[in-house]
Amino acid sequence: MSGQREFRPLDGVHVLLTGGTGFLGQAMLEKLLSAYPTVRVSLLIRDRRGAPAARRMQTLLRKPVFRPWREAAGEGEWQRVVRERVSVIEGHLGDSTLPTLPGDIDVVIHAASTVSFDRPIDEAFATNVSGVVTLYEALAAAGADPHVVHVSTAYVAGVRKGVILEEALDHAADWRTELASARAVRAEVERDSRRPETLRKISAQARAEHSKAGPQSVARSAEDARRDWVARRMVEYGRSRAQSLGWPDVYTFTKALGERVAEELWAGASRRLSVVRPAIVESSLRHPYPGWIDGFKMADPLIIAYGQGILPEFPGLPDSVLDMIPVDLVVNAMLAVAAAAPEPGRPAYFHVGSGSRNPLAYRGLYENVREYFRRHPMPAGGRGHVRVPSWRFPGGDRVELMLRSSERAAALAERALLRMPGSQRTQDWMSALLRQQSDLEFLRRYSDLYEAYTQAEVIYDDSRTYALHQMLPDRLVAEHGFDPAMIDWRQYVQEIHAPAVTALVPGYGRRGGSRAASTRPPELPERADVAAVFDLEGTVVASNLVESYLWARLSTLPRSRWGGELAGLAAALPRYLRAERRDRGDFIRAFLRRYEGASEAELRGLADDVLGQALLQRVIPEAVRQVRRHRAAGHRTILITGAIDVLVRPLAGLFDEVVASRMHTSGGVFTGHLAAPPLVDEARAAWLQRHAREAGLDLAGCYAYGDSYSDRPLLELVGHPVAVNPDPALYVHARRRGWPVRNWGAHVRGAADALLDTVAVRPR
C-alpha cells in the first residue's frame, strides 16, 4: 500500500462534510453520528428555495435515514447530541468564494456534486470544477491542514475497456482551459438563439401550434421554445465536449477535471488527499436498515420502468458488469479511507464497487429483477397486473432502430389526432398516444444516457480498497466492513433493493386510479370574490355558430330553398375551417358575414321563439348543474362567447352575466360586420382580468370552463381551470398541465358535422 499510513480509527476529530443533504452525505452523517461518538461535524449546506442552511439541517435530521438512531437515542438526547456535535456553515459551491471555514478541521469529506449526466455545461462546471477550486482555496485560507477525502466516481476513467487501476487518471484535458470555455458558452448560445434565422424558425413553429390561442400565446411559446433551445444546446455542448475527449457525459468529464483540481491545489501543496471513486451507489445492505434509499438512484428508473412493462428491450451487453454497491459499504469504505491518511503530497485512489470482487452482470441484474416482478407484479391501472417482458438483448443498434421507428409512428399519429374533432374516442386515442410518447421519451432519454454504462466492458480494480478493508480489526468488520464479496446478489436485488425502490412508487403503479379520481366534481368553497366563467359552444351547449346560423336561416326559408342554402354553405365550409384552425376570431368574422342583410328584430323574435327552444334543448345538463353549484356557493357565474348577443338571449337566465359579440346594424339590419372585435382567446382573458380588477375578484380562486385550445389563455388566468369536452390540442395541454378534464356527456359536433346533419334539423 504505497503512500498509505496504517489504519487509525477516527477519534475526536473535526470533520467538514459537503453534500450532507444528498444521498451519500446523509448516510455519511448518520454513520458519524451513530457510530463515531467523539467526532464533531461541520456541514457545508447551501440555502435553497428560500430555506436557509440551518433550517435545512433541521429538516434533514428528521429524514428516515436518522430514524433508528433518533429512536435509539430518544428525542431529547439526539437533539442534545446534534447541538454539541453538529454545526452548519452556509455556502454554495460555485464560482463565488465561500465563507471563512473553521481552522481546526482534521478531515474533509467532499461529497457535494451535481450528479446529473445531462446538466448544462456551465452548471456542471460551476459545481464540479469551480466549486472544487473555491473549496480548496477556502480550506487553505482557513489555515487548516486536513486530510481531504475527495469523492469522485469510478466512471471518471471514461469510455474504455479492461481493468482500470486505482491511480491518477491518464488524460491531457486541461481543467483551466475547459473551465474558461464552459463559462463562455452560455453567452455564445444565447447570441445564437437570437439570430433572425433561428427566431424565424421558432416563431413559425409557435404560430403553427398556438395561433388559435392568440398572438401573445404565440409570442410566449416562441420565447419558451427559444429558452428550451438554449437549454438543449447547453446540454449538447457538455455532452459533445465530454464525448470528444472520451468521457460518456458532462458529469464524468467534470468529475475527472475535479480530481485534477484536487491533485493540483491540494496534494500539489504537500497536503493529504485521498480520492474515493464509488461505482453505482444503491440502497443499503444493512445500515441504518436494509433497503434505505433516498429517492430513485441510477439503476432505479430502469427497474421501475421494467416493472411497469414499458421497456420491451434496453440497450446493453448481457455480459457487461453493472457495478452496483450498497451505500452503507461506500460510507464504511470512505470512513476507513479517512482514518488511514496518505502521505502529504502523494494522493491515494480507491475504487469502491463490486465489479472486481463480486461482479453482477447486466443479465444477472435483469434476471433478478424479472423474477422479483413475476412474484410481485405491479398493478396495471385497474386492469390486472403488468406482465413483465422477456429481453433478448438484441444489441444497441437494433434497439435504436426499434426506438426510431416507434418515435416516427407516434409523431405521425399525433399530427393526425390533433386534426380530429374532440370526442371521447379521440381523447382515448390521444391519452393512449400520450402514454406511448412518454414511454418512448423515457426510453430515448435513458438509452442515450446509460448507453455507455450498460455496454461498459470495464472492471474497476479495488485492490487498495480491499487492502484497507483487511486492515480493519476483526471486531470492527461487522459494523464497519466494506468487502463487496459479502453481497448475495439474489437476496440483495430481490429482497432488499427492488422492494425498497418499488415502495417509492406512489400507489405502487403510476397508471392506477387517476381517471376515476379526476371525474369526481370537487367541493366548491363558498366565496363572494370568486367567478366561474363558462365558454358557450361545446362547454354549455352542444352546438356551434354554424348550427345556430342554420337554425335561424332555414326557419325563414321555404323548404324548397334549403338545398341551395346548404350547398352555398358547404362550398364555403373549407374556407371557414381553415380560418377556424388558424384563428377563432377570423372564423367568427368570416362566418358572421352570412348574417348580412338579416333583420335584427326578426332574429330577436326567432331567438325568443324557435331558436331559443332549439338552443335550450342543446344545453348540456352537467353544465347547468355545474353553473348551479357555483351559484349555490355564492360565485358569480359568467357566460362568455364569440356568438352574437341576440342568439344567446335564451341563456341569460342561467348566468349572472352574459358577455357576447354584437353585430353592427344599419337601419335595423345587420351589416355583416361585428360592432367590436369578438371575445376570443386572449381577448377573453383580458376581459376577465379587467373585470376581476373592477369587481374585486380573486383570480386564483376563480374557475373557468372551456372546450377549445383557443380557451387556453382564459383557462391559464384562473386558479381552477377545467377542460370540458376538450378538442385534442386542449386535451393534450390539460393533461400536461395537470388540469382536470371533464366529459359532460355531449361533444359539440364540428362545423362540417353540423352541416351534414342538417337533414335532421326540424325547425318549426
Q: Which residues bind ligand NAP (CB under 6 A)?
A: 19-25, 46, 48, 92-94, 111-115, 127, 131, 151, 153, 255, 278, 280-281, 297-298
- If you count them, how many residues does the chain have? 764
- Letter for the amino acid at 253? F
Q: Which is nearer to ligand NAP, 151 or 487 (CB)?
A: 151
Q: Which is nearer to ligand NAP, 125 or 670 (CB)?
A: 125
Q: Provide, rounded to whole angstroms, the least separation between the CB of residue 278 and ligand NAP.
A: 4
CA distances from 684 to 435, 533, 545, 679, 712 (A): 32, 10, 18, 5, 10
Q: Which is nearer to ligand NAP, 280 or 614 (CB)?
A: 280
Q: Provide, rounded to whole angstroms, the least separation between the CB of residue 262 and ligand NAP.
A: 12
Q: Which is nearer to ligand NAP, 298 or 380 (CB)?
A: 298
Q: Provide, rounded to whole angstroms, the least separation between the CB of residue 277 and ligand NAP.
A: 7
Q: Which is nearer to ligand NAP, 94 or 312 (CB)?
A: 94
Q: Provide, rounded to whole angstroms, the least separation between the CB of residue 506 and ligand NAP.
A: 20
Cell 429524514 found at: 63
Q: Is 575 helix (H, G, I), strand (E, B) or coil?
A: helix
Q: Which is nearer to ligand NAP, 19 or 309 (CB)?
A: 19
> Cα 701–704–708 angle (5° rounding)?
155
* Nearest-angstrom CA–CA distance, 279 and 287: 19
**Could you tell me if 426 and 417 are in contact, meaning their C-beta atoms sit under 8 angstroms apart?**
yes
Q: Provide, rounded to whole angstroms, the least separation between the CB of residue 634 and ligand NAP.
A: 44
Q: Provide, rounded to whole angstroms, the least separation between the CB of residue 44 and ligand NAP.
A: 7
CA dihedral 170, 176, 179, 181 (to 10 degrees): -110
What does residue 487 show for φ and ψ, rounded to 5 degrees?
Answer: -85, 125
Q: Which is nearer to ligand NAP, 94 or 359 (CB)?
A: 94
Spatial CA neighbour of 594 closest among 663, 502, 535, 694? 663
Grid coordinates belonging to 9: 480509527
Q: Is 647 helix (H, G, I), strand (E, B) or coil?
A: helix
Q: Which is nearer to ligand NAP, 20 or 342 (CB)?
A: 20
* Nearest-angstrom CA–CA distance, 84 and 100: 21
Count the Cβ atoms, other than its own, within 10 Å of residue 366.
Answer: 21
**Could you tell me if 153 and 99 are in contact, meaning their C-beta atoms sit under 8 angstroms apart?**
no
Grid coordinates belonging to 166: 486505482
Q: Provide, rounded to whole angstroms, the least separation between the CB of residue 275 and ligand NAP.
A: 11
What does residue 557 show for φ and ψ, rounded to 5 degrees?
Answer: -110, 145
Pairing verdict, β 669-674 and 663-666: antiparallel
Q: Which is nearer to ligand NAP, 21 or 211 (CB)?
A: 21
Cell 443498434 found at: 397
Q: Provide, rounded to whole angstroms, the least separation between the CB of residue 338 and ligand NAP.
A: 14
Q: Report the DSSP beta bridge partners of residue 15.
A: 41, 107
Q: Provide, rounded to whole angstroms, the least separation between the CB of residue 519 and ligand NAP.
A: 38
Q: Report the DSSP beta bridge partners of residue 361.
A: 321
Q: Provide, rounded to whole angstroms, the least separation between the CB of residue 276 and ligand NAP.
A: 8
* Nearest-angstrom CA–CA distance, 575 and 444: 40
* Nearest-angstrom CA–CA distance, 15 and 563: 90
Count the Cβ atoms, other than its own, within 10 Å of residue 478.
Answer: 10
Q: Provide, rounded to whole angstroms, the least separation between the CB of residue 83 and ligand NAP.
A: 22
3-state SS of 441-493?
HHHHHHHHHHHHHHCCEEEECCHHHHHHHHCCCHHHHHHHCCCHHHCCHHHHH
What does residue 591 show for φ and ψ, rounded to 5 degrees?
Answer: -70, -40
Q: Which is nearer to ligand NAP, 250 or 588 (CB)?
A: 250
CA distances from 565 to 463, 594, 703 (A): 90, 11, 40
Spatial CA neighbour of 393 closest among 372, 427, 370? 370
Q: Which is nearer to ligand NAP, 365 or 654 (CB)?
A: 365
* Nearest-angstrom CA–CA distance, 610 and 616: 10
Report helix angle 327-339 to 23-35, nearest 10: 60
* Nearest-angstrom CA–CA distance, 9 and 337: 10
* Nearest-angstrom CA–CA distance, 260 and 178: 12
Q: Which is nearer to ligand NAP, 296 or 562 (CB)?
A: 296
Q: Which is nearer to ligand NAP, 111 or 704 (CB)?
A: 111
Q: Which is nearer to ligand NAP, 117 or 549 (CB)?
A: 117
> Could you say which DSSP state residue 544 is in?
-
Q: Which is nearer to ligand NAP, 235 or 614 (CB)?
A: 235
Grid coordinates belonging to 12: 475526536
Q: Provide, rounded to whole angstroms, the least separation between the CB of residue 460 and ligand NAP.
A: 11
Give the residue closest to ligand NAP by C-beta: 22
Q: Which is nearer to ligand NAP, 333 or 531 (CB)?
A: 333
* Nearest-angstrom CA–CA distance, 574 and 294: 57
Q: Provide, rounded to whole angstroms, the least separation between the CB of residue 122 and ligand NAP.
A: 12
Grid coordinates belonging to 631: 351559484
Q: Provide, rounded to whole angstroms, the least separation between the CB of residue 18 and ligand NAP.
A: 6
Q: Provide, rounded to whole angstroms, the least separation between the CB of residue 38 and ligand NAP.
A: 25
Q: Provide, rounded to whole angstroms, the least separation between the CB of residue 297 and ligand NAP.
A: 5
